[in-house]
Amino acid sequence: MTILTDSDLQDLSDMATDLALTDTASILRESDVDDGQGGSTRTWITAFTSPCVVVDILFKPIEPLIAEQVEGEVRKMILFPRQTDVHGPDRVVVKGTTYRVVEPLDPTTYEVLRRVVVVRVTIP
């Protein structure tokens, strides 16, 4: 027996989107662009935009050593409408801040919002 139908879930997602997802995200995907000289350049292009909200999560900031420099990472979670097409290699830009997608969390049985763990990287 199904407690909530897909229609019910979509209605809940639409309501949550209207009430809580107050920001807009640009989802960027890496692409090869013709450089006009027979080669290509890798660049990030906007695949689509979506309503979202950026929230803190309980991960502590971590400071990995990269190229002999300490790099601070702040993990956040971005919430999108259900079934939003966001992948691990994507970048997300919200209010001028770029985040690297760590991993979209697997959708739950009753997904109302898509949960995506991201990292904002800052170099001291």
Query: What is the pLDDT, as a whole number, of residue 112?
Result: 94
Residue 60 half-sphere exposure toward CB, CA atoms < 13 A: 3
| 41 dihedral zone (left: phi>0; alpha: psi -120 to 50; beta) | beta
CA dist 31 and 16 (Å) reads 32
And the tokens for 24? 């807009």
Which DSSP symbol is given to 74? E
Query: What is the pLDDT, as a whole number, of residue 62?
Result: 56
Per residue of the chain (124 residues), give pLDDT as tens.
Answer: 678 899 999 999 999 999 999 999 999 999 888 778 888 888 899 999 999 999 988 655 555 555 555 556 778 999 999 999 999 889 999 999 999 999 899 888 899 999 999 998 664 4
In the chain, beta strands by DSSP E: 23-34, 40-56, 65-66, 69-70, 72-81, 91-94, 97-104, 113-122
Of 54, 46, 47, 43, the closest CA to residue 21 belongs to: 54
Query: What is the pLDDT, as a whole number, of residue 70?
Result: 56
CA dist 59 and 97 (Å) reads 19
pTM flag (> 0.85): no
CA dist 83 and 60 (Å) reads 28
Query: What is the pLDDT, as a whole number, of residue 124?
Result: 44
What amino acid occupies position 99?
Y
